[in-house]
Amino acid sequence: MNNWIISGASVLGGEPADIFVRDGVIADSAPDSAQRLDATGLIALPGLVDLHTHLREPGREDAETVETGSRAAALGGYTAVCAMANTDPVADTAGVVEQVWRLGKDAGLVDVQPIGAVTVGLAGERLAELGAMATSAARVRVFSDDGHCVHDPVLMRRALEYVKAFDGVIAQHAEEPRLTVGAQMNEGDTSARLGLAGWPAVAEEAIIARDVLLAGHVNSRLHICHVSTAGSVELIRWAKSKGWRVTAEVTPHHLLLTDDLVEGYDPVFR
Amino acid sequence: MIEHLLSSSDLDLETATLVLDTAAEMAAVSGREVKKLPTLRGRTVVNLFYEDSTRTRISFEAAAKRLSADVINFAAKGSSVSKGESLKDTALTLQAMGADAVVIRHPASGAPHRLAGWIDGSVVNAGDGTHEHPTQALLDAYTMRSRLGRLEGLRVALVGDVLHSRVARSNVWLLRTLGAEVTLVAPPTLLPVGVDSWPVQVSYDLDSVLPKLDVVMMLRVQRERMNASFFPSVREYSRRYGLDAARMGALPEHAIVMHPGPMIRGMEISPEVADSTRSTIVEQVANGVSVRMAVLYLMLGGMA
């Protein structure tokens, strides 16, 4: 019995309408013996996809597991999540990405799509076996060292080129590491006054500028994780205007929180 | 009177002046044969030092003892901290032992702010990371006032590594409150990014600034900065931003030379300048005790 009439929801933010579900699938007419669900005042959207989650399993099950992350995702209206590779062990082999993929299947709440590491152990020194991860049961297509920047330009170029063989994409954590040694917050008036080592916008933008040029040069797909500066947006807009295959994401906290929250030195706001 | 002293910007003109006036009274006590007041008898002051420091710790210790407080010195090295205890747990332990005031020196900016949120007693920032060192600024202001008779309108230059200097930050805010005009002199690499919004003038050229000054305060350049591309070489730094006898000669007759210590002779200051009669370096140390007595007195004195 998985027949529903969801009534009164604003579909995609438009006029309220009834949505029919027959055997768990959206249908064009009311199914027999359907249960009615009053959704007046709510907005109906298709299942959302979160490209950037940390499910922490394997290794940090005390913080999150594939199952708890799946639950949170389902409650928030997400039907698919991509799990970043900075687990322990790192998701840099077919074995680990398959483990995460299976845990997602077992939880059975949302599609859990593992992301594979670009470099072995996220160390930024040599490529992980991207092809093995791509052809594994997990069918990895997105690769990222998130948490670390693939800062070596040659390695980044090779990664972008290599994943073209299986229509992959490199998701870059854009942070020039030498410009952010000890950095604790956005560099500006507030960091200067608080005496906290600043993280300059250029540390993000310099990598994005380099990588969109690389992606354009080798005609590959680049995704930029958690974009946080206006300059980055301009660079990405420029790259798109060239027809290069560049996408980007942004986080709620980068949109909504500002430097002044750090005034009390509460590390939550770092 | 004062609950905590975390930043020199916590002090308005009235309170800052009260601290300086009180320090002058304390200095009179330090000149007596029996250098002791009974004011803080039965009160406990903890010196909580996570960084090596000789002059500041001893200065606070002397200040508390001259006010008859019980002093507990807690150095992180060789203590429960080296066994992995967190700042918060250490703070709660000290609280349980009845600390009325905690004087904290910590390598992380903001540690005193956090501490003040965890304990009931007063917190004095004795230097946190690259943030502030407010009692140093107070003793500097005290020294300027006692040498030059006023603070309002004084032209003061802070020269050197402003970027990493907690002394510079505390001096900028306090001198602003007290009505002095501050100029920061440093190579552009040693100035913070937000400095345009500070209530100061900025110059890259020490020689052009010297003839207009009442006070020149030299800041130490820490050893670990010397090979980190902030400037090409110690020699070039010293040539452009060091205070030697020739540069001292360019100062107005009455101008004084200050240094918060420890100084590196031959780097930011030459030996003949450091030892000249214009130098207040030793005086600053003596004044430090008086100012810290004043701060502890105004924090704890009224509540006994």
Q: Which of B29, B48, B197 is nearest to B126 (CA)?
A: B48
Q: Which CATH number fits domain B134-283: 3.40.50.1370, 2.60.40.10, 3.40.1010.10, 3.20.20.80?
A: 3.40.50.1370
What is d(CA A85, CA A121) in angstroms, rounded to the nearest whole number?
A: 9
B288, B90 in Cβ contact below 8 A?
Answer: no
CA distance B174 to chain A (A): 13
Q: pLDDT for B31-60, tens place per residue?
A: 888 889 999 999 999 999 999 888 899 999
Pairs from B263-267 (Cβ < 8 Å, separation ≥ 24): B263/B218, B263/B220, B264/B220, B264/B221, B266/B238, B266/B242, B267/B220, B267/B221, B267/B234, B267/B237, B267/B238, B267/B242
Is residue B197 less than 8 Å (CB to CB) from chain A?
yes
- Best mutation target among B130, B133, B162 (most A Cβ atoms within 10 Å) is B130
Is residue A191 less than 8 Å (CB to CB) from chain B?
yes
- For domain A46-269, give the fold: TIM Barrel (3.20.20)
Domain edges within chain A: 1-45, 46-269
Judging contacts by C-beta atoms under 8 Å, the chain B residues touching residue A198 are: 192-193
Question: Which CATH superfamily includes the segment(s) A1-45?
Answer: Urease, subunit C, domain 1 (2.30.40.10)
* Tokens, residue B284: 């600053």
Q: Given this model, what pLDDT does residue B302 score?
A: 63
Give the 3-state secondary structure of residue A267. Answer: helix
* Tokens, residue A98: 């398959």
Average pLDDT, chain B: 93
Q: pLDDT for B177-204, tens place per residue?
A: 999 999 999 999 999 998 999 999 999 9
Across the interface, whether the CB atoms of A200 and B110 are under 8 A apart is answered no
CA distance A196 to chain B (A): 6
Look at the block and give the residue holding tokens 């055997």: A23
Counting every residue written for chain A, the total comes to: 270
What is d(CA B7, CA B112) in angstroms, rounded to the nearest whole number?
A: 9
Q: pLDDT for B265-287, tens place per residue?
A: 999 999 999 999 999 999 999 99
Across the interface, whether the CB atoms of A198 and B193 are under 8 A apart is answered yes
Question: The domain B8-132+285-303: what is its CATH number?
Answer: 3.40.50.1370
Regarding beta strands A16-22 and A4-11, do their DSSP bridges make them parallel or antiparallel, or are they unpaired? antiparallel
| Averaged pLDDT for residues B214-224 | 91
Which of A190, A192, A265 is facing B110, going by the closest CB pair?
Answer: A265
What is d(CA B113, CA B105) in angstroms, rounded to the nearest whole number?
A: 12
List the pLDDT tens digit at each of the 270 positions of chain A: 689 999 999 999 899 999 999 988 999 988 888 899 999 999 999 999 999 999 999 999 999 999 999 999 999 999 999 999 999 999 999 999 999 999 999 999 999 999 999 999 999 999 999 999 999 999 999 999 999 999 999 999 999 999 999 999 999 999 999 999 999 999 999 999 999 999 999 999 999 999 999 999 999 999 999 999 999 999 999 999 999 999 999 999 999 999 999 998 998 887
| Averaged pLDDT for residues B208-228 | 90
What is d(CA B227, CA A217) in angstroms, rounded to the nearest whole number?
A: 37
Bin B108: left if φ > 0, else alpha if -120 < ψ < 50, else beta. beta
Across the interface, whether the CB atoms of B131 and A194 are under 8 A apart is answered yes
What is the residue type of B225? Answer: R
What is the residue type of B151? Answer: L
Q: Does residue B83 register a pLDDT over 90? A: no
Domain edges within chain B: 8-132+285-303, 134-283
Q: Which of A121, A119, A55 is nearest to A82 (CA)?
A: A55
Exposure string over A217-234, b if 16+ CB within 10 A, otherwise e: ebebbbbbbbbbbebbbe
**Alpha-carbon torsion angle B186, B192, B196, B198, nearest 10:** -90
Which residue spans within B145-241 are E strands per DSSP? 155-159, 181-185, 201-203, 215-218
- Whether B8-132+285-303 shares its CATH topology with B134-283 is answered yes
Rounded to a whole number of angstroms, the distance between the first and last alpha carbons of chain B is 13
Judging contacts by C-beta atoms under 8 Å, the chain B residues touching residue A264 are: 113, 117
Residues β-bridged to residue B158: B184, B217
